[in-house]
Every structure is written in C-alpha cells, then in structure tokens.
Amino acid sequence: MAVVQPGEAAPRWELLAGMPCWIELATTDVEQACGFYAELFGWEYQTHQDDEAGEHIVASRDGFPVASIRRAAGDHSSWRLFLATQDVDSASAQAVEDGAQITVPPADVPGLGRKTVLVGPSDAEFGLLSPAESWQFDVGLPGTLMWAELVTIKAQTADNFFQGIFGYTAEQFGAENRSNYAVWYLAGESVLARVSMIRDYITPDTRPHWLLYLGADADEGIDGLVHRAIGLGARVRVDPYGSSIGRVAVLRDPTGARFAVVDDTQATDWFDSAANFDPYDD
C-alpha cells in the first residue's frame, strides 16, 4: 500500500502520511483480552509468529483485519494508534530529532508492514507504520476504529510536534468539559483530535494517552453495549453521553486498557453531561 504526502494524490485512492492506519492492544493478559473483545465485537483471531517482531495476534471482523493484540512489556495495558508513513526509519529519525524517544525499535511484521513505537514530547506513546502491499484495515463500522483523540496536558507541544511531522492543519473547538479541543486535518478531512487534560482531574498517576473510539452497532446502541461490556468484566469510566460524533461511553477492558465506544448514528449538536466523569484515572 503506497503512502503519499497530502497533495501528491487523491485521498480517496491513497493512504496519506499521518492518517491512522492500525491499532494495537498491548495487554497484560492476552487470553483474557481476546476473549473479551471476541464477545463484545465478534472479533476472530489469527496468531502470527516472527523472529524479529515476535508473536502478534491479528483480530478480524467479518473477515477484515481491525486490530492486533500482543503481550505488554510492562504491567500496564493500553491501546496504541499507528500513523501511516512512507518510511518508518526516516520518519522515526525525524521524530527523535523533534523530541521523541523510540520505545519499540523498527521491525517488519509480515502482512502488516514495518512499524515502530515512540513516545512523543507530549509524553504520549504512538506508532508509525509503513503498510505492506497486502495491508488491510477496516474502519468506520461497528467493532472497528471510528475516531481517535490524543489526551495530554502538553497540548501546544503535541500540536507543534505532530503538525511538524505530518503537516496537519488544526481547528480549535470548545465544549463542556473540553475547553481545549483541536481537530487535526489532512487534505481537508478530519483525521484525529487533540484534547487538553483538565487540570482539576489530573493526579500524579495521570498518563497522557490516545483514546480510541470503537464503533457500536446502532441496533444495540451504546447503552446496550455498555451493559454487555460490564457483564464481560469491563468497568465504566465515563457513562454514556451525547456528542457531535455520536453517543459515547468510555470503558476499561478487564485487563485495564481504556477505550471508548461510539454510536455515530446518534450524533448531536450538543454535549450531554455524563452522570460520572472520570476522564483519566481510576
């Protein structure tokens, strides 16, 4: 799959550098995580073993790849977002020059591409991926990636860093509980958002992170999905609320990884106030 810079080709047919192109769960309990997401979203799995990249499990929904799952190096479970680049090695070198640190060295993953993981100067982890020719990634449907937000206290640092690497343009928004919210664009299309953490909710243990939104089936709805997730061992961190991207809730899976679920058919022009608001920590 070719990755191009914005303006070099029509976005409809090409994957632009800086677009989300893969998600990965690094979890402390692979078996438990696989069981949870299989029950919640109907994911099926295929295990791949590689001498360089190690073991990774590719999750598919209706036959199309949606994510990978691998064992976390430490004692913390989290979702990772990978951004497309033409050349992982040169892009990661530029990122290091701009203040990032490589945490997982570049490696070739069969069927996926060449990837690496870094921590940016805004203290949030992110991945870079040069997709293989056989790369596939289903998005925009129930059980797949719908949206992603970088949640950080270092908002301006994050804006400068990622806009410097990928050339995002940005538009600033404000709403209840989101006084500093920016949407990043490529070729006129919104691709990501950056959320500035609210200082009143920050503790010494608060970690900057990507919040990944996975789609809910409109027939079940967010409230039904959340009810099922609780029965499967998830914890609710933000109760269902209405927003401009849909009806949303924020959960932690049974291994502790935070993620959001969204029903985009229920988008509104206003934000509800969630009954509980625990945006960052437990």
Ranges of CATH 3.10.180.10 domains, the chain: 3-131, 145-266
What is the SS3 assignment for the chain? CCEECCCCCCCCCCEECCCEEEEEEEECCHHHHHHHHHHHHCCEEEEEEECCCEEEEEEEECCEEEEEEEECCCCCCEEEEEEECCCHHHHHHHHHHCCCEEEEEEEEECCCEEEEEEECCCCCEEEEEEECCCCCCCECCECCEEEEEEEECCHHHHHHHHHHHHCCEEEEEEECCEEEEEEEEECCEEEEEEEECCHHHCCCCCCCEEEEEEECCCCCHHHHHHHHHHHCCCEEEEEEEEECCEEEEEEECCCCCEEEEEEHHHCCCCCCCCCCECCCCC
The answer on pLDDT for 49 being more than 80 is: no
Q: What is the pLDDT of residues 127-171, one digit of tens each?
A: 999 999 889 999 999 999 999 999 998 999 999 999 999 999 999
Mean pLDDT of 43-51: 86
User: What was the pLDDT predicted at 179?
Assistant: 58
Higher per-residue pLDDT: 271 or 116: 116
User: What was the pLDDT predicted at 11?
Assistant: 47
Q: Is it true that domain 145-266 has CATH number 3.10.180.10?
A: yes
Give the predicted TM-score (pTM) of the model.
0.91
User: What was the pLDDT predicted at 110?
Assistant: 86
Q: Give the pLDDT band of residue 280 (cuts 50, 70, 90).
A: low
Which CATH architecture group holds 3-131? Roll (3.10)
